[in-house]
A and B are shown apart, each in its own frame.
Chain A
Amino acid sequence: MGPVVLKAPFPRRAVYLTVVRNVLHHLFFGAALSWIRNLAGTAPALISMTLLLILAGVVGLGGFALHLLADRESADAAVLHVYLSDDASSTDVDALRLKLSADSRVRSVSYTSKADALKKAQNRPGLGDLASGAGSNPFPASLDVKLKRVEDVSGVADSVSKEKAIDPVQPTSYDPGAYGRLQKALTYLAVGGGAFLAIFGLVAVLVTSNSIQSAIHARREEISIMGLVGAPNWMIRGPFLFEGALTGGLAGLIAGLLVSIGAGVGATVGGSNRLGALVPGFTVSTGVAAGLILLLVGILLGAAASLIGLRRHLMAPEG
Chain B
Amino acid sequence: MLDTFEILTTSGVVLWSRSYAPVSSNIINSLIRDVFIEERIQPQSGDAGQKPTYRKETYTLKWTTAKDLGLIFVAVYQSLVHLTWIDKLLDNVRALFVGLYGEQLKKEHTSKLDCSNFAPYFERQIQDLEGSSDSATSNVKLTPPSSTDNDSADEKSLKPPALRKQQHQLYDTSADSTPVPTPETSRPTTPAQHHLITGKGRPGAKLSRRDRKKASAASTQPSSGDETSAKRKAKGSAKKNRVWGEFGAEEEDSSVVLDYSQSDIRDEGSATEALEEIKQETWGRKTGKGEFVLKDIDEEMDQIIAAENAKKQSSTASGGIVGSSLGAIGGLFRNVVGGKTLTKEDLAKPLKGMEDHLLKKNVAREAVVRLCESVERDLVGLKTNSFTTIDSTLRTSMEKALTKILTPTSSLDLLREIQTVNATGRPYVISIVGVNGVGKSTNLSKIAFFLLQNHHRVLVAAADTFRSGAVEQLGVHVRNLKELSKREGGEVDLFEKGYGKDAANIAADAVAHASKNGFNVVLIDTAGRRHNDQRLMSSLTKFGKLAKPDKILMVAEALVGTDSVAQARNFNASFGPGRGLDGFVISKCDTVGDMIGTIVSMVHATGVPVVFLGVGQHYADLRGLNVSSVCRLLMS
Chain B associates with chain A? no
